[in-house]
């Protein structure tokens, strides 16, 4: 079930090499990314621009249509500037991508010039990234959400520029709620009841594959994201607070995880324990789930011409952990950074400037549903026409809750891995929430060196 006991960094597998380490841990990589890890030479999936000359290699994610949207942006820059570019495909699971980056950067490899980095990584990777201050002027930088820019500043260095932001959303089948005269649930508890009711009725009506709720339950970064949403919606804190205090072992957190564990095999398939974003979308988009947690990127795909759920779905803030709880989304999103080992840092920086610009962020929002990090675009007519919920759920995007990456610094990935493993065990019935949280607290205390991080 892809369960790993410790974060996968080069230091975890000093002699074995990363690819073997990942395989050893039961994680599968696609062939393109495996080549990258074994040979330490990323194999470009695509080359754009002239056939010769210095080349800028950029890593692009490939969740949904992400790779194609990245490619068209990069192509725009290559055409405008005449530069040669290689697009590198990297693993979709965020923590696997991090492990790959860490291996390349630890080896001071210049094979990737421009890195797409997760919102929780600036503190982990900052030493390998150049300072991008001056790449965009101050006025342009101020157009971006301040909190995200601040997050990209480490030790007074701007180590990345915001590219798109993310917040967890609650997708629901409008048609099924209507058919069964049910309201959109407000709390996780109501959701459990409604999901169970509709799942049963739909199965009786002949759809034996119908499930109530799907979410990202694999033992990976996405599970940390989902479980943080459950915890915070129960007012159970954010694992580690802003001052670095470990808060995760508390009764409300146990209630949240106990409820989530009760979903498995009731309203949620057992298989969810190995689902990331795309597996969830697959189930929901084929019409086999009433509710789903996912990111905004799923919206345009689920409303595409050939989607079986086109026009049947709605999107809302994630649910509250009971009447006194709150709607919580975890803050996600990606930035662009330039490697310190790039042979062409100025040209690479120009690509980052182009891709993070207002024009390009607008294009990506319209064609791919990627949330801009530039506030003004949330009032742009074309952006709102393609994604009406960008306006309706604006508060959700700007108030999303951060994972404890600032407080835990370079140890964030280790903290996250310990957390997702404890949650995954609880969902799998391997120990109850209370016991697993108590032992997680002890482990995190060790990781934090007694709270000093």
Radius of gyration from C-alpha coordinates of the chain:
21
Provide the 10 A C-beta neighbour count for residue 115.
28
32, two tokens: 């393109």
| Site map (CB under 6 A) of ligand GLC, residues 40-79, x = contact | ----------------------------------------
Minimum separation from the CB atom of position 202 to ligand GLC (A):
28
- φ, ψ at 187 (rounded to 5°): -120, 160
Minimum separation from the CB atom of position 200 to ligand GLC (A):
31
Buried b (16+ CB within 10 A) or exposed e, 152-178: bebeebbbbbbbbbbbbbbbbbeebbe
The H or E element that residue 285 is part of is helix 277-285
Among 94, 126, 294, 335, binds ligand GLC (CB under 6 A): 94
Minimum separation from the CB atom of position 413 to ligand GLC (A):
11
Is residue 341 within 8 A of residue 109, CB to CB? The reply is yes
Count residues binding ligand GLC (CB under 6 A): 11
Regarding 221 and contact with ligand GLC (CB under 6 A), the answer is yes
The H or E element that residue 405 is part of is helix 405-408
Minimum separation from the CB atom of position 223 to ligand GLC (A):
8
Minimum separation from the CB atom of position 416 to ligand GLC (A):
9
Distances 3 to 176, 205, 218, 290 between C-alpha atoms, Å: 35, 37, 8, 27
Region 265-324 residues binding ligand GLC, contact defined as CB under 6 A: 295
Q: Give the list of residues 6+ apart from residue 417 with CB closer than 8 angstroms, or none.
A: 4, 6, 7, 95
| Site map (CB under 6 A) of ligand GLC, residues 100-129, x = contact | ------------------xx----------
Among 217, 325, 332, 345, binds ligand GLC (CB under 6 A): 332
Report the residue number, 225 or 309, with the smaller CB distance to ligand GLC.
225
Among 111, 166, 202, 360, binds ligand GLC (CB under 6 A): 166
Report the residue number, 188 or 295, with the smaller CB distance to ligand GLC.
295
Is residue 400 within 8 A of residue 412, CB to CB? The reply is no
Minimum separation from the CB atom of position 233 to ligand GLC (A):
18
Minimum separation from the CB atom of position 17 to ligand GLC (A):
25
Regarding 356 and contact with ligand GLC (CB under 6 A), the answer is no
Stretch that binds ligand GLC, among 218-226, 352-360, 362-370, 419-427 (CB under 6 A): 218-226
Among 7, 91, 185, 222, binds ligand GLC (CB under 6 A): 222
Residue length of the chain? 453
Counting beta carbons within 10 angstroms of the beta carbon of residue 123, is it exposed (0 to 12), middle (13 to 18) or buried (19 or more)? buried
Regarding 4 and contact with ligand GLC (CB under 6 A), the answer is no
CA dist 243 and 250 (Å) reads: 17
Q: Give the list of residues 6+ apart from residue 326 with CB closer than 8 angstroms, or none.
A: 232, 233, 235, 320
Among 88, 99, 210, 225, binds ligand GLC (CB under 6 A): 225
Report the residue number, 291 or 334, with the smaller CB distance to ligand GLC.
334
Report the residue number, 317 or 333, with the smaller CB distance to ligand GLC.
333
Residue least distant from ligand GLC (Cβ)? 332
Is residue 274 within 8 A of residue 218, CB to CB? The reply is yes
Stretch that binds ligand GLC, among 155-163, 192-200, 319-327, 330-338 (CB under 6 A): 330-338
Distances 77 to 138, 139, 166, 354, 365 between C-alpha atoms, Å: 22, 22, 24, 7, 18
Task: Provide the binding-site residues for ligand GLC, judged by CB under 6 A.
Answer: 94, 118-119, 166, 221-222, 225, 295, 332-334
């Amino acid at each position: 079930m892809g369960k790993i006991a410790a974060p996968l960094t080069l230091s975890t597998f000093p002699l074995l090499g990363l690819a073997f380490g990942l395989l050893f841990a039961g994680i599968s990589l696609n062939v393109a990314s495996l080549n990258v890890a074994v040979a330490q030479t990323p194999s470009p999936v695509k080359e754009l621009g002239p056939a010769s000359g210095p080349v800028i290699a950029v890593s692009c994610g490939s969740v949904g249509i992400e790779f194609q949207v990245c490619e068209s942006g990069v192509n725009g820059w290559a055409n405008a500037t005449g530069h040669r570019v290689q697009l590198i495909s990297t693993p979709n699971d965020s923590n696997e991508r991090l492990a790959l980056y860490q291996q390349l950067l630890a080896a001071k490899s210049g094979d990737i010039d421009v890195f797409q980095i997760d919102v929780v990584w600036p503190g982990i990777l900052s030493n390998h990234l150049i300072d991008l201050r001056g790449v965009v002027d101050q006025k342009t930088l101020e157009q971006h959400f301040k909190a995200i820019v601040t997050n990209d500043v480490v030790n007074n260095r701007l180590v990345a520029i915001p590219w798109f932001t993310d917040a967890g959303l609650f997708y629901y089948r409008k048609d099924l709620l209507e058919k069964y005269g049910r309201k959109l649930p407000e709390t996780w508890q109501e959701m459990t009841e409604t999901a169970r009711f509709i799942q049963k009725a739909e199965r009786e009506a002949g759809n034996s594959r119908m499930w109530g709720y799907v979410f990202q339950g694999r033992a990976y970064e996405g599970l940390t994201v989902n479980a943080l949403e459950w915890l915070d919606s129960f007012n159970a804190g954010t694992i580690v607070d802003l001052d670095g205090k470990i808060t995760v072992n508390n009764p409300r957190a146990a209630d949240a995880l106990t409820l989530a564990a009760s979903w498995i095999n009731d309203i949620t398939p057992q298989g969810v324990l190995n689902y990331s974003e795309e597996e969830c979308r697959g189930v929901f988009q084929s019409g086999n789930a009433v509710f789903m947690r996912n990111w905004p990127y799923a919206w345009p795909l689920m409303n595409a011409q050939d989607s079986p759920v086109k026009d049947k779905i709605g999107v809302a803030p994630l649910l509250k952990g009971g009447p006194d709880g709150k709607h919580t989304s975890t803050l996600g999103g990606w930035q662009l950074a330039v490697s310190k080992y790039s042979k062409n840092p100025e040209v690479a920086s120009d690509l980052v400037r182009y891709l993070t610009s207002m024009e390009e962020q607008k294009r990506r929002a319209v064609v791919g549903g990627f949330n801009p990090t530039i506030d003004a675009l949330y009032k742009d007519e074309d952006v709102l026409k393609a994604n009406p919920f960008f306006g309706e759920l604006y508060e959700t995007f700007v108030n999303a809750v951060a994972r404890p990456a600032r407080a835990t610094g370079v140890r964030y990935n280790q903290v996250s891995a310990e957390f997702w493993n404890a949650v995954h065990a609880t969902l799998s019935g391997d120990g109850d929430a209370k016991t697993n949280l108590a032992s997680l607290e002890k482990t995190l205390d060790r990781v934090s060196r007694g709270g000093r991080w």
